[in-house]
Amino acid sequence: MTKTYARILGTGSFLPERHLTNADLAKRVNTNNEWIVERTGIRERRLSENGTAAMAAEAAQQALADAEISAEELDLVIAATSTPDYAFPGVACQVQAAIGANRAFCFDLAAACSGFLYALSTAAAYIESGIARKILVIGADAMSKITNWEDRGTCILFGDGAGAAVLTAASTGLMAFDLGTSGLDGGSLTCPFGTEPEELPYIHMDGRRVFQFAVRTVPETIRRVLAEASWEKDEVRYYFLHQANARILASVARTLQIPEKKMPMNIAYCGNTSAASIPILLDEWNRAGRISPGDKLVLAGFGAGLTWGAAALEWKRKKTAGKGIVRGIEPEKQNR
């Protein structure tokens, strides 16, 4: 009997209109555009006015349209987020109401910046086991809600956005995953619920430790997922990596000896959008018609937890030729 895999049928994304440039930030904290661009690759980020679920619903609508299915066909909606609008109901439940996915059951999943990969793997397990056939997976975060705008070590990095993918059962698709967590290192990136001044619900980060963790762990998880899928690194057309810092991506490319042009980037104009970063990037490349049926793709991310993950994805949906706005900047045109 042939094995069933979860395949991506369509993608969508949403970035809020409101821009916050490095120059805007330099008016609030002691920083400057040159420092931020050189150390991170970020030039501006977007700020949500309507919250996480509203962004998620926009991305979801686009993904459904791209997949050419209706919301009623969905069996399950999973939203990966660390910044829900409410403790409950979850973002996935709010999206269900907004788009009319009346048949679906819905839940949120929190794995910080690795959230989209964890949600994809969860969706794949439901599809492979036959429990669900059509699943909407969303990564959405309004990081601005938990950003301390007086901390120059973190406020320069993050932005708001949402990305989504519709998955269905097929003969190829998400061929392998590698997922991992190191709870012992969790203290290097936290957002407490506490009420003490040092425990305000803001991001606290040891940037150097997180940087070192990322440049060590991401190449390892990519190597493992390639081995699991029996793929050579050069067969892969694109590596869609979590957009945390352009220097982290450059380091991963060097370590794995992968040309940087195989690692798309959009960090310059949206910053680190946490669980949304990989699906936004994937959607931009899909909409620009840069991914072709049969392409081998690797998705990889890391984040608070500490968590990491990678997926080997065979792209078999029909080509989306130049639909929608292309926000992307070619990797080689970006300032690293």
Nearer to ligand COA, 10 or 41 (CB): 41
**Beta strands at 295-303 and 307-315: parallel, antiparallel or unpaired:** antiparallel
- Residue 243 found at the interface with ligand COA (CB under 6 A): no
> How many angstroms separate the CA atoms of 245 and 42, rounded?
8
Identified binder of ligand COA from the candidate list 71, 120, 156, 268, rule CB under 6 A: 156
- Residue 202 found at the interface with ligand COA (CB under 6 A): no
Sheet holding 174-181, edge to edge: 174-181, 307-315, 295-303, 238-241
- Residue 31 found at the interface with ligand COA (CB under 6 A): yes
Instruction: Collect all residues with Cβ–Cβ distance below 8 Å to 184 and sequence separation of at least 6.
Output: none
> How many angstroms separate the CA atoms of 198 and 319, rounded?
50
Residues 44 to 63: which contact ligand COA by CB under 6 A?
A: none
Q: In whole angstroms, how close is the CB of 179 to ligand COA at the nearest point? A: 15
Nearer to ligand COA, 29 or 69 (CB): 29
* DSSP conformational letter for 70: -
* DSSP conformational letter for 149: T
Residues 121 to 150: which contact ligand COA by CB under 6 A?
A: none
- Residue 217 found at the interface with ligand COA (CB under 6 A): no
Nearer to ligand COA, 52 or 114 (CB): 114
The one segment of 8-16, 35-43, 119-127, 159-167 that binds ligand COA by CB under 6 A: 35-43
> How many angstroms separate the CA atoms of 3 and 23, rounded?
52
Nearer to ligand COA, 245 or 266 (CB): 245
- Residue 113 found at the interface with ligand COA (CB under 6 A): yes
Nearer to ligand COA, 30 or 195 (CB): 30
Q: Scan for tokens 């555009």, then name that residue.
A: 33
Residues 252 to 311: which contact ligand COA by CB under 6 A?
A: 272, 303
Identified binder of ligand COA from the candidate list 207, 224, 251, 255, rule CB under 6 A: 207
Query: What is the signed CA dihedral for 122, 218, 58, 89, rounded to 10 degrees?
Result: 50
Report the candidate in 81, 73, 83, 152 with the shortest Cα–Cα distance to residue 110.
Answer: 81
Residues shown for the chain:
336
Positions touching ligand COA (CB under 6 A) are 31, 35, 39-40, 113, 152-153, 156-157, 205, 207-208, 210-211, 244-245, 272, 303
